[in-house]
Structure 1
Amino acid sequence: MEALQGIMQNAKRLRYEALSAFAADLNKAAKYTEICDALSAHIKYIIDFFQLRLHHFNKGESGCFEMSRGECVFFKPRQDGLWKYEMEVFETGLPVNYFGDAIQEHKLLARSVFNNPKVAAVYSLPVSYFKDQKILITIAVKSQIHYIDIDFKFLKSIADLVANKLMQLDLLKKIENTNKELKAKNAQITKLNYDLEQTVNLRTAELTNANEELKTLFYRTSHDFRAPLANIMGLANIAKLVTKDKDALNLFEKCEEVAHKMDAMLSKLNVLSTYSYEHQIKPVDFRQILRELRAKFQDKLQEIGGRLIFDIVLDDEHLANPDTYVTILENLLENSINYHNTNLIVQVYILRYKNDLVIKFSDNGQGIPLKIIGKIYDMYYRGNSESTGSGLGLYVVRKLVRSLHGNIFAQSKPKKHTHFIIKVPLVQPS
Structure 2
Amino acid sequence: MEGARKRTMDINSLLNFHSSTEYTNNERKRITDCYDGQNRYEMEQAKDFFTFIHDMKSPLITTKGYVSRLLSGKVGPLTKKQKEYLEIIHYNHEKIEALFKQFFDILRSRSKNLKPVLNTFDIIPVISKIIDALTLEAVEKDIRICFEHPQTMPSLYADETMMIRIVQNLLDNALRYTPSGGIITIIVSDRDNDFLIRIKDTGNGIPNRHFPYIFSPFYQVQRDSRGSGLGLYVVKQLINLLGGKIWVESIPGRGTSFSLTLPKYQGEQSA
Rounded Cα–Cα distance in structure 1 between residues aligned with 2:238 and 2:49: 17
Structure 1 residue 318 displacement after superposition: 1.8
Query: Residue 159 of structure 2: which of 310, 316, 321 is its match?
Result: 321
Rounded Cα–Cα distance in structure 2 between residues aligned with 1:211 and 1:229: 34
Q: Are 2:244 and 1:414 equivalent residues in the alignment?
A: no
1:303 is matched with 140
Structure 1 residue 278 displacement after superposition: 4.6
1:233 is matched with 63
| Counterpart secondary structure, 2:246 | strand
Structure 1 residue 302 displacement after superposition: 0.3
| Counterpart secondary structure, 1:424 | strand
Rounded Cα–Cα distance in structure 2 between residues aligned with 1:408 and 1:211: 31
Q: Are 2:189 and 1:362 equivalent residues in the alignment?
A: no
Q: Does the 8 A contact of 1:226 with 1:266 survive in 2?
A: no
Question: Residues 226 and 232 of structure 1: is their aligned pair in 2 closer, same or farther, counting only changes over 3 Å?
Answer: same
2:119 is matched with 282
Which blocks of at least 5 consecutive residues in structure 1 are unaligned? 1-205, 242-255
Matches within 5 A, 1:29-428: 209-210=36-37, 224-225=54-55, 227-231=57-61, 233-234=63-64, 263-274=97-108, 277-278=114-115, 280-313=117-150, 315-427=153-265
The residue type paired with residue 426 of structure 1 is K
Question: Residues 225 and 415 of structure 1: is their aligned pair in 2 closer, same or farther, counting only changes over 3 Å?
Answer: same
Larger Rg: 1
Structure 1 residue 225 displacement after superposition: 4.3
Rounded Cα–Cα distance in structure 2 between residues aligned with 1:345 and 1:398: 24
Rounded Cα–Cα distance in structure 2 between residues aligned with 1:354 and 1:293: 26
Q: Does the 8 A contact of 2:122 with 2:154 survive in 1?
A: no
Q: Does the 8 A contact of 2:143 with 2:179 survive in 1?
A: no
- Superimposed CA distance per residue, residues 20-62 of structure 1 (whole angstroms, 9 cap, x where no aligned partner): xxxxxxxxxxxxxxxxxxxxxxxxxxxxxxxxxxxxxxxxxxx
Structure 1 residue 364 displacement after superposition: 0.9
Q: Identical aligned pairs, as a percentage?
A: 22
CA RMSD, 1 decimal: 3.7
Q: Does the 8 A contact of 1:376 with 1:394 survive in 2?
A: yes
Rounded Cα–Cα distance in structure 2 between residues aligned with 1:211 and 1:341: 45
- Superimposed CA distance per residue, residues 211-268 of structure 1 (whole angstroms, 9 cap, x where no aligned partner): 8996998997676445313245359869x99xxxxxxxxxxxxxx9x98876453232
Rounded Cα–Cα distance in structure 2 between residues aligned with 1:383 and 1:287: 30
| Counterpart secondary structure, 1:297 | helix
The residue type paired with residue 306 of structure 1 is I
Q: How many residues align?
A: 209
Normalized per residue, the structure richer in strand is 1
Higher relative contact order (CA 8 A, sep 6+): 2
The residue type paired with residue 423 of structure 1 is T
Structure 1 residue 299 displacement after superposition: 1.4
Q: Does the 8 A contact of 2:219 with 2:229 survive in 1?
A: yes
After TM superposition, the score normalised by the length of structure 1 is 0.42
2:19 is matched with none
| Counterpart secondary structure, 2:149 | strand
The residue type paired with residue 407 of structure 1 is K
The residue type paired with residue 176 of structure 2 is N
Q: Does the 8 A contact of 1:348 with 1:362 survive in 2?
A: yes
- Superimposed CA distance per residue, residues 377-407 of structure 1 (whole angstroms, 9 cap, x where no aligned partner): 1100111122000000111111111111111
| Counterpart secondary structure, 1:266 | helix
2:4 is matched with none
After TM superposition, the score normalised by the length of structure 2 is 0.64
Rounded Cα–Cα distance in structure 2 between residues aligned with 1:265 and 1:279: 19
Rounded Cα–Cα distance in structure 2 between residues aligned with 1:223 and 1:412: 34
Question: Residues 424 and 219 of structure 1: is their aligned pair in 2 closer, same or farther, counting only changes over 3 Å?
Answer: farther
Q: Does the 8 A contact of 1:229 with 1:259 survive in 2?
A: no
Matches within 5 A, 1:23-34: none
The residue type paired with residue 230 of structure 1 is L
Question: Residues 284 and 274 of structure 1: is their aligned pair in 2 closer, same or farther, counting only changes over 3 Å?
Answer: farther
- Superimposed CA distance per residue, residues 160-217 of structure 1 (whole angstroms, 9 cap, x where no aligned partner): xxxxxxxxxxxxxxxxxxxxxxxxxxxxxxxxxxxxxxxxxxxxxx879538996998
Rounded Cα–Cα distance in structure 2 between residues aligned with 1:235 and 1:350: 37
Question: Residues 330 and 261 of structure 1: is their aligned pair in 2 closer, same or farther, counting only changes over 3 Å?
Answer: closer
- Superimposed CA distance per residue, residues 124-143 of structure 1 (whole angstroms, 9 cap, x where no aligned partner): xxxxxxxxxxxxxxxxxxxx
Q: Does the 8 A contact of 2:123 with 2:155 survive in 1?
A: no
Rounded Cα–Cα distance in structure 1 between residues aligned with 2:61 and 2:34: 36
Which blocks of at least 5 consecutive residues in structure 2 are unaligned? 1-32, 76-89
